[in-house]
Structure 1
């Protein structure tokens, strides 16, 4: 199974379990994760959600082959269901990040409440490099968290950056040895699960409610641009270059 779901001690754990593909996410995986968040909201025994990746990698982002075979970004597309549910989750969401966190592997962290990362973790947001645009409301949230210039460097150039930069940008809480990160994140999730659920829910709402409508609107706005640009020549060149293992040539495009 590409997604493993476990419930224990008040924590629902979502584990990306496709290590042979560096936990690249398919439409089916997005649907499973969206459904897991939906069930977590309804289940009173679930007090916190933990997201992690198996095999030493958090996620290589979208599975490009799967994405090109089923590129739907309509309102009910699995990826948008997942983004809406993680961004509106009432219960605390904790992430444990080891290895690479590419694209949505990084942008989903902007919707988590606590993020713990291995000291060897690497992050990247290569949307422009693929002829696309940011997603998951990252064009709104990253400048707010990190400041415009740092966000612009990461979103426009798309170059990988390490956990120390992520800490400085403010979307990672703490870095630690790779062998410790999963256990530590689970411990923190259990701490949250032991606290009064209503207090957590209201406190989270107070922190996030002012931006909630903006985030929802930006997710939809980005998705419209993303869907349009996915069909453009620049994206076709970027994806073809990726599969051919060569550097894309954008010089002929205005």
Structure 2
């Protein structure tokens, strides 16, 4: 059974089968760039999934050639004066980082910005072998988010994290596997079936033990992760309001429209 999120229409699709909820980003014409309305829908879906005993595993994927091009920059520019902790994007990050059930990312296309950093908070990540990944925060005069400035140096070492977060190097699916950001790269036509197969394996496990295992694996760093999300979001908001970043973003948007 497939549902469409009420807001925005058609931009997030869901299906529920065999205790597995699949959430599909479907804003294809905008390369699945995430708007505030989409963040609101994702928060609601994740909260509902956490409460629903009929859902044991969540798969996050997308339609089209992009997993997500990141945040909707135009919307972020227009909301620059909004307090960071009132923004839907901030609440989405906290919701995903605290999500108690297993979540699998099936990265079907290019991932940019938060499209990469959100993967750091998923339990299993599979990607098509044609994907590329990039975190161009500094290029826009912003700072990385979603606790990536804490997680990536600890996971990859500082030198590699500098390449990805400060230089903004692009990397492909095989490199993402080598870095430990992605579990496995697969041909595009095998991606969803492979993710679903592993979701079925997780869903077949005893529920209490499954949830307890995730809780034990995440609880030691949970407080630090949420603190890093908050600190980064505050700095991100400060940078977004700056004349320097507003000028960079305006030039970026004008170039994209031309």
Question: Structure 1 residues 38-47 or 3-12, which shifts more?
Answer: 3-12
Q: How many pairs does the alignment contain?
A: 246
Task: Structure 2: state its 5+ residue gaps.
Answer: 1-9
Deviations 1:139-181 (A, max 9, x none): 1111122221111100001132111221111010000101111
- What does 1:9-158 correspond to in 2, within 5 Å? 9-71=18-80, 72-158=82-168
- What does 1:100-249 correspond to in 2, within 5 Å? 100-245=110-255
Task: Structure 1: state its 5+ residue gaps.
Answer: 247-254
Secondary structure of the corresponding residue to residue 84 of structure 2? coil
Question: Structure 1 residues 204-213 or 110-119, which shifts more?
Answer: 204-213
Secondary structure of the corresponding residue to residue 75 of structure 1? helix
Give TM-score scaled by structure 1 length. Answer: 0.93
Deviation at 1:73, TM superposition (A): 4.6
Give me the CA root mean square deviation.
1.3
d(CA) in 2 for partners of 1:76, 1:171:
29
d(CA) in 2 for partners of 1:129, 1:45:
43
d(CA) in 1 for partners of 2:156, 2:83:
28
Secondary structure of the corresponding residue to residue 105 of structure 2? strand
Give TM-score scaled by structure 2 length. Answer: 0.92
Secondary structure of the corresponding residue to residue 106 of structure 2? strand
d(CA) in 1 for partners of 2:93, 2:175:
24
d(CA) in 1 for partners of 2:34, 2:106:
17
Deviation at 1:198, TM superposition (A): 1.1
